[in-house]
Structure 1
Amino acid sequence: MSVEPGSFAQRLGLTAGDEILSVNGHPVPDELALKFHLAEEEVVLEVRKNGGSVKTVDVHLSPGRPLGVMVEDFRTLTCNNACMFCFVDQLPRGVRRSLRLKDDDYRLSFLHGNYITLTNVSDRELDRIIRQALSPLYVSVHATEPGLRTRILGRRRPDNLDHKIRKLVQGGIRLHTQIVLMPGVNDGQNLERTVSELYSDYPGVNSIAIVPVGLSEHGEPRQVCTPVTPAYCREVIAQVEPWQRKFRSERQRTFVYLADEFYLQGGVELPDAAHYDDFAQVEDGVGMVRRFLDDFEGGLKSRSVGKLPLDGTLVTGKLFRAVLAESVRLLNERFGFKLRVVASENLFLGRSITVAGLLAGRDIRDALVGGDPGDFVLFPQEALSRTEGVFIDDRTPEDIAAEIRRPVIPGGRTVHEFLALLFERLR
């Protein structure tokens, strides 16, 4: 661990390289456990000094006063499944290294909203989740029928999901769940059963996101899934809408939500904002477009009217192109901008991958070559790794900028950031 200069920990004699073994007799395997047990005012630390000796330190922590230590990142728990749709196994060579990590870690689910299967979580770890109130968690269910879930996850035997969900829910943990929908596999009556059984655990199971399976051109032989079509999207919407009306009538909450892709690909109008309640599943592509449209409308109202010189290109995926193009039309009309929208085809993963967040740097570059991008290029922020600053193919915005000789800028994670970036170009 490291110790912050001038911190309480330093005054207690803790130094870099020491290891906190326990707090009040409780083992602390990672930073989450350490923070949980340090919430008490009176604590006893068992510390292994850098030299190897073990000592006990009595600590009185005032409310809001941190100890001032930083522990090493915990070792990520990885996935032990072989899912028939696993996107990591569909990635080509040349992707950024972090994408090769198949994390399935309940701590990352709590901290960052990562989806987990719970297949590698023991009863002891379930007890820890409940004891430390690691809530909410995000769980990939796909199917509640044990045999079907086992087949989808590529396991030899059922993983007792029902027991785990019930234990967590009864322990006060909120769960947001996900179903990756595969035509002919877990849809139809199987989907109805899954939704019904998860609804029986409401409000502990607080929401379900149904997302269409994503298929690249690099899948393994075991990953034989039928692609989702516009007609199929409309069928799914027609099946799910009566359940949504029922749940809103009974619970005043939609509960089960369809990813935006179903509506966009199916050519069906998006629901209004109230349909998405608290937008709990927005990071899974549920309600993201509705939020963009509503925030964009509100953002335009806050901008003064006037004709302003702004010439640039906005790059997006094929799925979002029509939505963004209409918004850009309004910007051009109101402010006299000369903005254009370019849809980048995903040749790196495959043409069937149409979401903006999976665009490769080379595909963005190829979409711009041969045309006039204007003075700058904005691309979807979600296509860039938060930690590494690179696209899925390990290229950087600077790489593209050097090739097209224009600034290549991430477009922000919110509409407010997006509009701010545009108007800052005028300064």
Structure 2
Amino acid sequence: MHTKKHVISGVKPDSIAMELELEPGDELISINGKEIEDVFDYQFLTEDEYLLVVVRKSNGEEWELEIEKDYDEDLGIEFENGLMDDYKSCSNKCMFCFIDQMPPGMRETLYFKDDDSRLSFLQGNYVTLTNMKDKDIERIIYYNLGSINVSVHTTNPKLRCTMLHNRFAGEALKKIKRLSDAGIEMNGQVVLCKGVNDGEELERTIRDLTEYIPNMQSLSIVPVGLTRYREGLYPLEPFEKEDARKVLEQIHRWQDYCMEHFGTHFVHGGDEWYLLAEQPLPPEENYDGYIQLENGVGMITLLRDEFREALAAEKKDASLKRNVTLVTGKLAGPILEELVG
């Protein structure tokens, strides 16, 4: 029985879909006799050179279309939902959740908490794995998807249940091993909370995750973000300068170990630690290709390098004067002053 509707929202010009007279409003039923669950099914099935596509036209007619194309050639079909399925919402109540700390009155979509592994592959989102079922793991392995970004936070099962306020959060750690055993590449993240998962707990987490190198490609350690909208939430404290220096000392010690034993720095501190500790940021080569850039790891080093390269390529014109206003946060302020000063 056909249960999911995949309604075509657009057809790309000069595409196979346009040649076959597919139109917005038509519904994709199946490809090669298989129903489509989501975008991964669609991408996998449409890679073939020979396709039998069943489409229900907007007038109710069903068309069977035999398609011969180049391998991996796009059909040119667009859908309203890029995932081709409903987004999976978060089942946790994390003590550090940033969305819970957002001010009221903002647009509704900003308050949606996703925890969907498919968005990890498509957009780089971090997922906790707590709502991932066996069939989800099996599909990732079957399609050999990667890399997946995992919000680990701690490898202590009991502590993870507490931090995520989810009694199944500890069991999710077994999924990391299962994915690694199948050769799926991952990146990990720890949102560090003062007095909760730092110190010896962080030591345990890093040590445990090194067992999954090279499939666990990297681990970022970032400080918890706190806003003033924390009424009724877990009483977390901000990190101070000395705290940041201790965290960096721990990270650097593990980087030395990982370089010696695995040839990679593996564990990386978010830029905020260096700014808070008032310590120089690492050079480009320490970031292993900026593998955790979107998580705020190495952004300032990359900005500095690109800024200086761009200036060096420009001819100086002393007569050109321009008043420019730059807006940034308190921690990053001195960095921009250094660059434009």
**TM-score of the superposed pair, with normalisation by structure 1:** 0.73
What is residue 326 of structure 1 aligned with on the other side?
Answer: 338
What is residue 76 of structure 1 aligned with on the other side?
Answer: 87
In the alignment, structure 2 segments of 5+ residues that lack a partner are: 1-7
Decide whether the 8 Å contact of 2:49 with 2:72 is kept in 1. Answer: no
CA distance in 2 between counterparts of 1:131 and 1:51 reads: 36
What is residue 148 of structure 1 aligned with on the other side?
Answer: 159
What is residue 101 of structure 1 aligned with on the other side?
Answer: 112
What is residue 260 of structure 1 aligned with on the other side?
Answer: 271
Partner SS state of residue 203, structure 2: helix
Q: What is the CA distance between 1:181 and its match in structure 2?
A: 0.2
Partner SS state of residue 191, structure 2: strand
Decide whether the 8 Å contact of 2:48 with 2:72 is kept in 1. Answer: no
Q: Does 1:122 align with 2:130?
A: no
Partner SS state of residue 311, structure 1: coil
Partner SS state of residue 179, structure 1: strand
**TM-score of the superposed pair, with normalisation by structure 2:** 0.91
Partner SS state of residue 178, structure 1: strand
CA distance in 2 between counterparts of 1:20 and 1:5 reads: 18
Q: What is the CA distance between 1:26 and its match in structure 2?
A: 3.0
CA distance in 2 between counterparts of 1:134 and 1:101 reads: 25
Decide whether the 8 Å contact of 1:31 with 1:71 is kept in 2. Answer: no
Aligned length: 329
* CA deviation profile, 1:84-132 (whole Å, cap 9, x unmatched): 0111001111223332111111121111111111111111111212222
What aligned pairs does 1:7-406 form with structure 2 within 5 A after superposition? 7-52=15-60, 54-63=62-71, 65-73=73-81, 74=84, 75-307=86-318, 308-329=320-341
Q: Tell me which moved more, 121-130 or 83-92.
A: 121-130
Structure 2: which amino acid aligns with 1:58? Answer: E
CA distance in 2 between counterparts of 1:4 and 1:272 reads: 44
CA distance in 2 between counterparts of 1:38 and 1:59 reads: 10
Q: What is the CA distance between 1:189 and its match in structure 2?
A: 1.2
CA distance in 2 between counterparts of 1:147 and 1:159 reads: 6
Partner SS state of residue 200, structure 1: helix
* CA deviation profile, 1:235-254 (whole Å, cap 9, x unmatched): 11112211110101112211
CA distance in 1 between counterparts of 2:205 and 2:305 reads: 32
Identity of aligned residues (%): 39
In the alignment, structure 1 segments of 5+ residues that lack a partner are: 330-427
CA distance in 2 between counterparts of 1:4 and 1:288 reads: 36
Structure 1: which amino acid aligns with 2:89? Answer: T
Q: What is the CA distance between 1:266 and its match in structure 2?
A: 0.9
Decide whether the 8 Å contact of 2:272 with 2:331 is kept in 1. Answer: yes
